[in-house]
Structure 1
Amino acid sequence: MNFKSKLINFFRLIFPSSLTELWVFLFFITLYGILGSYIAINYTIIFDNRIPWDAYFSFDNRSIVMTGGSFERHPLSYYFFNWIREFAFLISNGKTDSTFRLVLAWLSTTAVSLSVLQVFKYLKNIIRLPLIISLLLVSFFGFFSTNILLSFTPENFTYTLFLLCLYNHYAAIKLKKEEKISGIALVFAGISVGGLTITNIIKVFIPVLFEKKLFWSWKKFGNAALRVTITFVCYILLYLNRIDFKYKNIFNKTNEQYEKFSNVKSTPTWDMILSYFFGGNILFSNFIIRDKNNMKGFNFKGLIMDVYSSWIPYVFIAILLGLIFWSYFRNFKNKLVQIIMISFILDIVIHCIMRFGLHTSYIYGGHFIFVYPLLLGWLFYSYHSSPRVLSFLTVTIGILLIYLIINNYIRMTEFFWFLNSYYQ
């Protein structure tokens, strides 16, 4: 395959390649775009030079846009956000005004819309679900609270969501064809995904473990080991170059961050796991307004999520988790399902067991929320010859979708009340 063909296939992978895919993409980019544009034009919350972090839901908008975030957690995002910031300045003539915010919002809108498209492509082309089921599941995914927030938020998680969705789709195509994952693709994924959030680099290597007969042939195993090694070497060299090879700073800063984000005891652990990690990324919870300070004398209001105050959201999350684990055990021998679940388990270990950032784990949804529609898709697939079960699953997801839209719409009206009160 020549370079031109590879380039065409690359763009066909990322962007809509059929009329149905185009309509899905246009629907969500319009929906998210209207929301993001309205917020960017009328409010200052997307980027305010006085507020580096925590204006809403612990996102670090200004800090991320200006610096890429802390090097120990986001080692290479400095370079990525340099491009984004300079592009936004180019359009706004160097001003951090509504035009600047609008560019940031539309970049986020495009990234999240492409993420939704990748999930739809996976459901349609990899799992090969009927169109109506694919549309149902992608609609369910599209109204998750994380997607709504990231669609106008300039953050690492916004672009991590897209890159992980894209890589999982690409890896699934390769494994379904019983082909190995390209070394160039592995290096690119390792640098981009791991560069935005360091722990996610492990997810890049999970599909490699499921290449055909990898452990049956020393040649195949050696080739895989070489690809992984090259990826690690490229990543580590870029990381060390970012910090001027002062590698001891990595351990010092990592310990500081772990202590800071892992020792919150204000809420029972089980409730943080359900309300924040499993729930807050999908179904908005109650909001709390807090007094914040930028450490330079400026006071402002911040918005965070509380745990659920009603039994209904807990039932919602319990049903969804039940469906997810039903899908996993039903498709246990499916290597594509195993890849998705192992990736999800990694986040569960980091946030729920190690408790890193558990009290704000609703902001980490970009790392894993795409696993929900994909696992639900595999559940539908496993019962393709059982009309009764398919009907049950369709009705169940339909009811969950209706509640999701109503709940998240009501919460977004509360979010706009917050914006009208403090960020006009």
Structure 2
Amino acid sequence: MSFIKTKLIHLLKQVFPSSYTELAVFIFFLTCYGALGTYIALHYRIIFDSRIPWDAYFSFDNKAIVMTGGSFERHPLAYYFFNWVREFSLLISGGKMDATFRLTLAWLSNTAISLCMVQIFKYLKNIIRLPLMISLLIILFFGLFSTSIILSFTPENFTYTLLLLSIYNYYAAVKLRKEEKIPGSALTLAGITIGGLTITNLVKVFIPVLFEKNLFRSWKKFGNAAFRVILTIASFVFLYLLRIDFKYENIFSKTNQQYEKFSNVESIPDWDMMLSYFFGGSILFPSFMTTDKHNMKGFDFKGLLMEPYSSSFCYAFIIILLGLILWSYIKNFRNKLVQMIIISFLVDIVIHCIMRFGLHTSYIYGGHFVFVYPLLLGWLFYAYKSQPKILSFLMITLVILFVFLLANNLYRMSDFFLFLETYYQ
């Protein structure tokens, strides 16, 4: 019993703030995101409108996700999680899907993203061991990402996926730093929760196992790792098949349909979609465009989508940021924690940029990978901690990027509110 109690306390300390500084970070983001989400929930119906199942803004599927967890082929176990989210929100709202219901959904998202900020801050402070001022600058920079802002009030799979991936990456980094293996129970839990919300993220759960000490030098350790991986996959597959009553043939047909639907869009050149949507849209808002939508049941409504960048400054911002990320990777090439982050990022690059799945709306998938940016920036600062001139250059560069990001995203959010005022009061 004491063992379980110790493990539970350790888990709570990892997930929640465990120092006054971490608590301050949590309260700051909870307050900022909370004010935004509260205002939107109380004054507009866009967070949840029973008539609008999908695509009200940036292709998020708020109503469909809250009611069903999303399509089973992409979000196999999300149904169970969002049942809890929906029932809890209905409990708070007295069974009504009104402003209080929207407010509860927004605050659940707000709490999740604020806890995500705490996880990234913990990583910067405890794993990379950066000075406090640099850690705070990076976390504020991350907090201004378009993905962070939008998901802070959006009830979606991506919201909770971002939190779970951040928690798991920090947990795995702690284990690898101590040269410990990831327990089978933790691996299975991560596989079921992270893979259950979005199936393509399941592979990311196994990446840290590849970097366990002497994994490929000992048959015993390799066999133990293989057993943990097989156990995780078996548990996940069983729960997945149970969810669909073991009608596994539906998985393949639905998956093919989804791939065809989201991979054959020729709206703009691929390189522009990569920069403007995949790498850029999840961080720096471009301009928006409104579209005519309908719910297939006779109700017409307006949707909001992102346009490709129209300013050379936006392209320059993304290229500079990607340059810093590449610089960090090259400088820290021998660091297994950096390799772990990059491989995780490559999974999304392959899916969206190479396979082109959802590339035309890849900004919505930011919850799967945006956390890699602050972590890799942190490792870049760490690499030059004893070189003041380069450190000063990096600080000045990040401050300039921060100011531009702040100005751009605040301006674009004013456009978002104009859209809400016009169509969703």
Which residue of structure 1 aligns with residue 423 of structure 2? 422
SS in 1 for 2:241: helix
Indicate the RMSD between aligned Cα atoms, in angstroms. 0.6
Which residue of structure 2 aligns with residue 403 of structure 1? 404
Which residue of structure 1 aligns with residue 162 of structure 2? 161
Cα distance per residue 1:217-264 (max 9 Å; x no partner): 111011100110000000000000011100010000000000000000
Which residue of structure 1 aligns with residue 135 of structure 2? 134
Kindly provide the amino acid, as one letter, of the partner of residue 41 in structure 2.
Answer: A
SS in 2 for 1:206: helix
Write the distance in 1 (CA, Å) between the matches of 2:69 and 2:385.
Answer: 45
Write the distance in 1 (CA, Å) between the matches of 2:224 and 2:111.
Answer: 36
Kindly provide the amino acid, as one letter, of the partner of residue 199 in structure 2.
Answer: I
Write the distance in 2 (CA, Å) between the matches of 1:299 and 1:316.
Answer: 37
Residue 58 (str. 1) matches residue 59 (str. 2): yes
Which residue of structure 2 aligns with residue 190 of structure 1? 191
Residue 17 (str. 1) matches residue 18 (str. 2): yes
Residue 55 (structure 1) shift: 0.2
Equivalences for residues 123-272 of structure 1 within 5 A: 123-272=124-273
Equivalences for residues 361-380 of structure 1 within 5 A: 361-380=362-381
Residue 357 (structure 1) shift: 0.2
User: Following TM superposition, where does structure 1 have runs of at least 4 consecutive aligned residues deviating by more than 4 angstroms?
Assistant: none
Residue 6 (structure 1) shift: 1.1
Write the distance in 2 (CA, Å) between the matches of 1:308 and 1:100.
Answer: 35
SS in 2 for 1:133: helix
Residue 2 (structure 1) shift: 1.6
Residue 86 (structure 1) shift: 0.4
Kindly provide the amino acid, as one letter, of the partner of residue 209 in structure 1.
Answer: L
Residue 328 (str. 1) matches residue 329 (str. 2): yes
Kindly provide the amino acid, as one letter, of the partner of residue 125 in structure 1.
Answer: N
Cα distance per residue 1:129-159 (max 9 Å; x no partner): 0000000100000000000000000000000
Which residue of structure 2 aligns with residue 280 of structure 1? 281
Kindly provide the amino acid, as one letter, of the partner of residue 199 in structure 1.
Answer: T
Write the distance in 2 (CA, Å) between the matches of 1:74 and 1:111.
Answer: 18
Which residue of structure 1 aligns with residue 80 of structure 2? 79
Write the distance in 2 (CA, Å) between the matches of 1:285 and 1:197.
Answer: 26
Kindly provide the amino acid, as one letter, of the partner of residue 324 in structure 1.
Answer: I
Kindly provide the amino acid, as one letter, of the partner of residue 75 in structure 1.
Answer: P
Write the distance in 2 (CA, Å) between the matches of 1:285 and 1:147.
Answer: 15
Write the distance in 2 (CA, Å) between the matches of 1:66 and 1:388.
Answer: 54
TM-score (norm: length of structure 2):
0.99
Write the distance in 2 (CA, Å) between the matches of 1:337 and 1:221.
Answer: 22
SS in 2 for 1:282: coil
Which residue of structure 1 aligns with residue 299 of structure 2? 298
Equivalences for residues 40-59 of structure 1 within 5 A: 40-59=41-60
Residue 325 (structure 1) shift: 0.4
Residue 93 (structure 1) shift: 1.1
Write the distance in 2 (CA, Å) between the matches of 1:184 and 1:285.
Answer: 42
Which residue of structure 2 aligns with residue 27 of structure 1? 28
Write the distance in 1 (CA, Å) between the matches of 2:270 and 2:180.
Answer: 43
Kindly provide the amino acid, as one letter, of the partner of residue 114 in structure 1.
Answer: L
Cα distance per residue 1:11-44 (max 9 Å; x no partner): 1000111111010110001000000000000000
Aligned residues: 424
Which residue of structure 2 aligns with residue 344 of structure 1? 345
Write the distance in 2 (CA, Å) between the matches of 1:13 and 1:183.
Answer: 18
Write the distance in 2 (CA, Å) between the matches of 1:197 and 1:3.
Answer: 29
TM-score (norm: length of structure 1):
1.00
Kindly provide the amino acid, as one letter, of the partner of residue 303 in structure 2.
Answer: G
Structure 2 unpaired stretches of 5+: none
Kindly provide the amino acid, as one letter, of the partner of residue 420 in structure 2.
Answer: L
SS in 2 for 1:66: helix
Which residue of structure 1 aligns with residue 310 of structure 2? 309
Residue 182 (structure 1) shift: 1.2
Kindly provide the amino acid, as one letter, of the partner of residue 95 in structure 1.
Answer: K
SS in 2 for 1:71: coil
SS in 1 for 2:286: coil
Kindly provide the amino acid, as one letter, of the partner of residue 344 in structure 1.
Answer: F
Residue 178 (structure 1) shift: 0.2
